[in-house]
Amino acid sequence: MVKNIPSRLIYAAQIRAARGLLNWSQGELAERAGVSKQSITRIEKGIMDPRFSTMTALNEAIRSTGVEMDEDGSGTVMITISREKLLSPSA
């Protein structure tokens, strides 16, 4: 088990996974969250520690679709989506 993974890398993986579930481009997430596409690119590459306000905007954009990003404290990183939201064409 790998320990001491920087939180920015975990967050980067969560953002990429959430976008994959939603079939969103970086540009679409950026537009929905009101942040620059360049910020999304840098966050996903793990080269930028996002501001709290940026993380909040990204999380809100993703959560509005029913996708939840979480970590259980034991090292398990989770991305979940309800079946209802997954099958909804408006997501």
pLDDT of residue 5: 74
Residue 76 counted as domain residue? yes
Residue 43 counted as domain residue? yes
pLDDT of residue 2: 54
* Residue/partner pairs of 12-17 with CB below 8 Å, 24 or more apart: 12/43, 12/44, 12/45, 12/46, 13/77, 14/69, 14/77, 14/79, 15/40, 15/43, 15/44, 15/58, 15/62, 15/69, 16/44, 17/69, 17/79
Count of structural domains within the chain: 1
52: amino acid identity, one letter: F
Residue 42 counted as domain residue? yes
The pLDDT tens digits along the chain (91 residues) read 456 777 888 889 999 999 998 899 999 999 999 999 999 999 999 898 889 999 999 999 999 988 888 877 776 777 887 777 766 665 4
pLDDT of residue 35: 97
Residue 2 counted as domain residue? no
pTM of the full structure: 0.80
